[in-house]
Amino acid sequence: MKKQKMSLPMQILIALVAGIVVGLICSVIGDSGKTFTASYLKPFGDIFVNLLKFIVVPVVLLSMIDGILSMGDMKKVGSVGIKTVVYFLCTTAIACVIGLIFANIFAGANLFPDLHDQLGAAEYEPKAFNGFMSVLVDIFPSNMWQSFVNANMLQVIVVSLFFGGSIMVAGERGKLARDIVSSFYAVIEKLMEFVISLSPIGVFTYMAWVTATQGANILGSLALVILCAYIGYIVHAVLVYSLSAQVFVGMSPIAFFKGAFAAMMFAFTSTSSAATLPVSKECAHEMGAEDDISAFVLPLGSTINMDGTAIYQCVATVFIASCAGIHLTIGQMVIVVVTATLASIGTAGVSGAGMIMLAMVLETLGIPVAYIGLIVAVDRIFDMGRTCLNVTGDIACSLCVSKWEGGRKKAGKR
């Protein structure tokens, strides 16, 4: 009898638990255990994430062009685009409200630690922001190859949209380009399958390293701030994503989270939505999202849809403000919702990017950006949860848009 292969989510779950166990053992051993995970386990996780990063530009480029071409006409592309952006914007605004509600409950009940005396020592060098118009201008590449080399995903998406649309409009004369895209995409899909099959290794090694080196931080003074963010992440996932999958797609919350599990766990350990893209595509496909639609929604989502990041930015803002003795008014909260929504859209789908964009929210409120230094040490722990939520939102959106565009196919059927 042929031996049945263990499913990928199961392999990832086992790798996750084993990683935590090994990480705990190494942290008990002490410094040599921590050094071991950092020097000998983490590099394998890094290799894996590098492999994902190296395929992410061709995956986004080819999958978006292929998705646009499979949709067949620009009207459908426009309709999918509008529904996707509306879903992203609404869910991100809700995420900000959820983040603010929990942050205010925690701050009001004095559950946040008072790090007021550490403000002077907080050091953080923000990146310079040149304003929204220059961000808008930067979305349009002046050199296509540079966008690929720098893995500037928003620019890669713009290039894909222009090429996808132009190949379609070129009709018969664009046939060669169409065939080339579909042939290269078939190749990159095979490569993606191979890299994804290695994901348990990435999950195990990263989890062991994070548990060994950051475990103590969870128990440290910021534990309640982390808890607040995680409550926000969980409430948003259950309330917004599983409910939208239930209401719009007719999928039970259990089926939804089970289907998205592999991508969620992978995002949790890799802390990069962009690197998780190949896994999210696989999950969305298995859950029955239309391939042409998820080929469009997921790359866009991994670049601009960051609800976990928005929740984190709201919680971090309220926490930092309370340490600085600033009480945010309702008007300022509205500003937080707007800037955190924009900041999360501008956040790249890579590790730690959300913290860099937090500077924008603080700056708008006139809170010294250097105070981000208070939470830098535990950013990875925030990042694991927020990336997990970001990716879950992308998958939920691809299912909903598939349904709104005329039905979802049977799970697992191409």
Binding site for ligand ASP (CB under 6 A): 271-273, 306, 309, 347, 349-354, 383, 386-387, 390
Which CB sits closer to ligand ASP, 84 or 309?
309
Which CB sits closer to ligand ASP, 244 or 390?
390
Which CB sits closer to ligand ASP, 290 or 394?
394
Which CB sits closer to ligand ASP, 102 or 382?
382
Containing 113, the helix (H) or strand (E) segment is none
| Residue 273 · residue 306 · CB < 8 Å | yes
CA nearest to 86, candidates 346, 300, 339, 277: 300
Please calculate the CA angle 36-227-389 and round it to the nearest 5 degrees.
Answer: 80
Residue 150 DSSP class: T
Give the residue at shortest CB distance from ligand ASP. 354
With tokens 């290794």, the residue in question is 201
Distance CA 31, CA 218 (A): 18
CB of 348 to ligand ASP, least distance (A): 7
Distance CA 180, CA 174 (A): 10
CB of 53 to ligand ASP, least distance (A): 11
CB of 117 to ligand ASP, least distance (A): 28
Distance CA 252, CA 39 (A): 42
Which CB sits closer to ligand ASP, 77 or 228?
228
Q: How remote is the C-alpha of 268 from its chain's centroid? A: 9
Which CB sits closer to ligand ASP, 22 or 196?
196
Task: Pull the structure tokens for residue 308.
Answer: 């976990």
For CA atoms 328, 332, 333, 336, give the dihedral sign: negative
CB of 308 to ligand ASP, least distance (A): 7
With tokens 């078939």, the residue in question is 186
CB of 303 to ligand ASP, least distance (A): 9
Task: Pull the structure tokens for residue 285.
Answer: 């496909």
Which CB sits closer to ligand ASP, 351 or 402?
351
CB of 413 to ligand ASP, least distance (A): 29
CA nearest to 57, candidates 169, 184, 203, 179: 184
Distance CA 303, CA 315 (A): 22
CB of 270 to ligand ASP, least distance (A): 8
